Amino acid sequence: MSVIDVSGLTKHYGEVRAVQGVDFTVEAGEVFGFLGPNGAGKTTTIRTMLGLLSPTAGQATVLGADSTDEPAMIAAKRSIGYLPANPAFDDSATGREILDLHASIKGADRRAELLDRFGVPLDRAIRAYSSGNRQKLGIVQAFMHDPELVIMDEPTSGLDPLMQQRFNEFVRAEREQGVTVFFSSHVLSEVRQVCDRVAILRDGELVTTESIESLLGRSGKFVHARIAGHVESDAFDGDAVHGFEQTLIEDRAEELLAVTDLQRGTDVVTDIQFTYTGDINDLLAELNAYSFVDLDVEEAPLEEVFIRFYGPDEPSERTPTGQYSETDLPGGDEDV
Amino acid sequence: MFELARYEARRRLKGTLYLTVGLTLLAGMYIATFPSMAEDMNLDQFLDQMPEVFLELFNIATMNTIEGFLAAELYSIGWVLLLGLYTAYSAATVIADDIDRERMDILLSLPMSRARVLAEKFLALLVPIGVVNAVLPVVIYVGTVGIGYPIDPVNLAVVHLLAVPYLLACGGIGLVLSVLTSRSTIAQRGALVAIFGLFLFESLTTIAGHEWLGAIAPMRYFDATAVLVDGSYDWAGGAILLGGTVLLVGASVVYFRRRDIE
């Protein structure tokens, strides 16, 4: 039996179709990524799975319990950990009081070990917690009763990069112990580090469920280069190149060239960027013909992947500015 | 069982302390002023000049005895109105505040039913209600003995006993508002309007000769003046208030179980 089974799950808020006919299953021991841009319906799906929202149609079961069957869900919740998107606790309570409450109701076999790993200022009032500490307290309460299944909504938001790394290691270790982990994210690079499979949600509909390797194979690399001299506009034509853009830089060229040792007698720099989905060796061979002022080759951001595979959307709605960290948007000001 | 109730009860201790100190000061002030007022003037003559609505609103029978004076001043304002408002206001946050501040997700991730969450959080209201009604009669008795106008201790105890179902009913009204909305400020304002509105409504319907209309107001079933001045105890009123509380909490459970947490 699957640990999570979602079939035809639909949730409408009046006229708004938050989630529409979503189907997926998560097997025992999997780390499953639930990927999609902000506003795609990830949180609504998760909260419906947990019985916080009732589905408009379809159903979701977790550990065999139907999300709308309260007695079955209460039994299942003994073995489920949940970390919501913005874990919130009583401001005036201390972390210790919160964990004591949770311990008294669901148990706390792993509390000490988790607190060692994710240091939380237990005796401070929650009101004085940073968002990172709140998130860590949320992680501790989600895992402390040694659950079989942990559902997390954007678990690494609010964590600093070091703690994100520690969290990823932790999730991998949990998988080794046989824990099933389901988590949502809007950041592909985060998901790729720990997930076995991903489902991609967009506009409330599931666009694909596939292994992380096949998704990464198709998503390609984002290439941003500054090349000394001129570049022919058709220089990078080919099936593997998508969204090619080039800009000639003349006014600042001297400055840019000065940081390199190039002695090519040129006074312009060409800025190019594109997404590359072919063999990485072919890409390097093509690039070899040029001299560079700068070169970035990064994993394509999720939005790029969406647009390439699933067609463009209204950009103003799909990409609220400021929602992506810098590493997710190598294009910087050219975000989609 | 009752783990959440215990946790919530601890969270209410500080507020309960402030409330008890505040009411002790209020009671002390009234008690301290009584001797000079009773000796220097005939307050009932003053009352004769007051419009009927004023007497009905504060349930005033006489002000020349310590019982009548406290019933009119301390209980009709401090208990029926202020504590009623406080309890309803507190109850209004029970569910709505957790939803509003996004705490409900984690709370409901615990293996417990929504009915139990609601019931245990409501039960924690017994901390302020219980402490205030246990401490204040002692304070008031000692105070009245101290000024040489001792109040009947049995009547005093009964007033505070009957205040408990009254306050629970006020809490029930706040609780209903708390499950109906996800905005705690709306629930809180609604609770204040409801209690104050019912307080006025109950008196005005009596004055207007439509007394039966005021029967929906919890104030109808808690009469400190009758207990303190006449020594008549309305146990049936207390039972009606408890029954009403059960109905209000039950209705809240039914709705809370069905609603989306959004």
Q: Do B113 and A90 touch (CB under 8 A)?
A: no
CA distance A76 to chain B (A): 8
Average of pLDDT values for B222-245? 94
pLDDT, residue B162, reads 97
Identify whether residues A200 and A108 lie together within a single domain. yes
Q: Which residues contact A202 (CB under 8 A, 6 or more apart)?
A: A36, A37, A40, A306, A310, A313
| pLDDT tens column, A277-298 | 888 898 898 888 888 888 998 8
pLDDT, residue A130, reads 92
DSSP string of B197-258, one letter each residue: HHHHHHHHHHHTT-GGGGGGSGGGG--HHIIIII----HHHHHHHHHHHHHHHHHHHHHHHH
Average of pLDDT values for A110-137? 94
Q: Do B4 and A138 touch (CB under 8 A)?
A: no
Q: Which residues of B touch A (CB under 8 A)?
A: 3-4, 7, 10-11, 101-106, 108-114, 257-258, 260-262
Distance, in Å, from the CA atom of A279 to the CA atom of A272, rounded to the nearest integer, reads 19
Sign of the torsion angle spanned by Cα atoms A88, A89, A94, A97? negative
- Find chain A residues with C-beta within 8 A of B10's C-beta: 97
* pLDDT at residue A68 greater than cutoff 90: yes
Mutate to test the interface with A, among B1, B2, B7 (most CBs of A within 10 A): B7
| pLDDT tens column, A11-20 | 999 889 999 9
Q: Considering chain A, what is the average pLDDT of its residues?
A: 86
Average of pLDDT values for A308-335? 42
Identify whether residues A52 and A181 lie together within a single domain. yes
Least Cα distance to B177 among B233, B73, B248 occurs for B248
Identify whether residues A106 and A223 lie together within a single domain. no
Predicted TM-score (pTM) of the model is: 0.84
Tell me how many degrees the CA angle A193-A199-A204 measures, rounded to the nearest 5.
130
Band of the pLDDT at B56, cuts 50, 70, 90? Answer: confident
Please give the share of chain A, as a percent, with pLDDT higher than 70.
88
Tell me which of A331 and A94 has the higher pLDDT. Answer: A94
pLDDT, residue A77, reads 97
Identify whether residues A181 and A266 lie together within a single domain. no
pLDDT, residue A263, reads 63
Average of pLDDT values for B195-218? 90
Query: Lowest-confidence range among A103-117, B95-109, B206-220?
Result: B206-220
Average of pLDDT values for A80-95? 95
Does residue A190 contact residue A156 with C-beta atoms inside 8 Å?
A: yes
Least Cα distance to B228 among B147, B135, B145, B156 occurs for B156
Does residue A62 contact residue A98 with C-beta atoms inside 8 Å?
A: no
Query: Looking at chain A, which residue has its C-alpha nearest residue B257?
Result: A70
- Find chain B residues with C-beta within 8 A of A90's C-beta: 11, 103
pLDDT, residue B63, reads 77
Number of domains in chain A: 2
Question: What number of CA atoms fall less than 13 Å from residue A181's CA on the CB side?
Answer: 31
Does residue A217 contact residue A298 with C-beta atoms inside 8 Å?
A: no
pLDDT, residue A328, reads 39
* pLDDT at residue A331 greater than cutoff 60: no
* pLDDT at residue B132 greater than cutoff 90: yes
Does residue A225 contact residue A241 with C-beta atoms inside 8 Å?
A: no
Distance, in Å, from the CA atom of A147 to the CA atom of A141, rounded to the nearest integer, reads 10
Distance, in Å, from the CA atom of A120 to the CA atom of A127, rounded to the nearest integer, reads 13
CA distance B17 to chain A (A): 16
Location of structure tokens 């009245």: B144
Hey, which residues does A269 pair with through a beta bridge?
A228, A249
Q: In what order do the strands lie in the sheet with A269-276?
A: A241-249, A269-276, A221-228, A292-299
- Find chain A residues with C-beta within 8 A of B262's C-beta: 13, 53
Q: Which residues of A touch B (CB under 8 A)?
A: 13, 47, 50-54, 70-71, 74-75, 77-78, 80-82, 84, 86-90, 92-93, 97, 100-102, 104-106, 138, 141
Domain of A201? Answer: 4-217
Q: What are B66's two structure tokens?
A: 């310590």
* pLDDT at residue A23 greater than cutoff 70: yes
Q: Do A88 and B106 touch (CB under 8 A)?
A: yes
| pLDDT tens column, B9-31 | 999 999 999 999 999 999 999 99
Identify whether residues A105 and A183 lie together within a single domain. yes
Last residue of a domain, one of A217, A241, A261: A217
Q: Do B111 and A106 touch (CB under 8 A)?
A: yes
Distance, in Å, from the CA atom of B254 to the CA atom of A71, rounded to the nearest integer, reads 15
Average of pLDDT values for B153-178? 97
Does residue B64 contact residue B38 with C-beta atoms inside 8 Å?
A: yes
* pLDDT at residue A200 greater than cutoff 60: yes
Identify whether residues A106 and A66 lie together within a single domain. yes
Query: Looking at chain B, which residue has its C-alpha nearest residue A99?
Result: B7
- Find chain B residues with C-beta within 8 A of A88's C-beta: 101-103, 105-106
Average of pLDDT values for A225-244? 85
Last residue of a domain, one of A189, A217, A245: A217
Q: Do B105 and A53 touch (CB under 8 A)?
A: no
What letter represents residue A298's amino acid? E
Location of structure tokens 């190039």: A262
pLDDT, residue B128, reads 97
pLDDT, residue A306, reads 67
Location of structure tokens 């209705």: B251
Q: CB pairs below 8 Å between A and B: how many?
A: 70
Selecting from A70, A87, A104 the residue whose C-beta is nearest the C-beta of B113 gives A70
CA distance B250 to chain A (A): 17
Identify whether residues A232 and A194 lie together within a single domain. no
Identify whether residues A312 and A226 lie together within a single domain. yes
Identify whether residues A47 and A194 lie together within a single domain. yes
Q: Do B7 and A97 touch (CB under 8 A)?
A: yes
Identify whether residues A169 and A235 lie together within a single domain. no
* pLDDT at residue A310 greater than cutoff 80: no
Average of pLDDT values for B74-83? 92
Sign of the torsion angle spanned by Cα atoms B253, B255, B261, B262? negative
Last residue of a domain, one of A217, A247, A265: A217
Tell me which of A192 and B75 has the higher pLDDT. Answer: B75
Least Cα distance to B10 among A94, A103, A87, A107 occurs for A94
Average of pLDDT values for A81-87? 95
Band of the pLDDT at B120, cuts 50, 70, 90? Answer: very high
* pLDDT at residue A334 greater than cutoff 60: no
Identify whether residues A274 and A254 lie together within a single domain. yes
Q: How many CB atoms lie within 10 A of CB B50?
A: 11
* pLDDT at residue A156 greater than cutoff 90: no
pLDDT, residue A252, reads 81
Identify whether residues A183 and A36 lie together within a single domain. yes
The pairing of strands A221-228 and A269-276 is antiparallel
Does residue A163 contact residue A136 with C-beta atoms inside 8 Å?
A: yes
Q: Do B3 and A75 touch (CB under 8 A)?
A: no
Selecting from B7, B257, B261 the residue whose C-beta is nearest the C-beta of A52 gives B261
Q: Do B103 and A52 touch (CB under 8 A)?
A: no
Distance, in Å, from the CA atom of B81 to the CA atom of B75, rounded to the nearest integer, reads 8
- Find chain A residues with C-beta within 8 A of B112's C-beta: 74, 105
Q: What share of chain A is helix, strand, coil (3-state, %, to 5)?
A: 35, 30, 35
Average of pLDDT values for A36-54? 93
pLDDT, residue A1, reads 77
Query: Looking at chain B, which residue has its C-alpha nearest residue A141?
Result: B106
CATH of the domain at A204: 3.40.50.300
pLDDT, residue A311, reads 64
The pairing of strands A57-62 and A4-13 is antiparallel
* pLDDT at residue A67 greater than cutoff 60: yes
Selecting from B7, B111, B260 the residue whose C-beta is nearest the C-beta of A53 gives B260
Q: Do B105 and A84 touch (CB under 8 A)?
A: yes
Query: Looking at chain B, which residue has its C-alpha nearest residue A73?
Result: B111
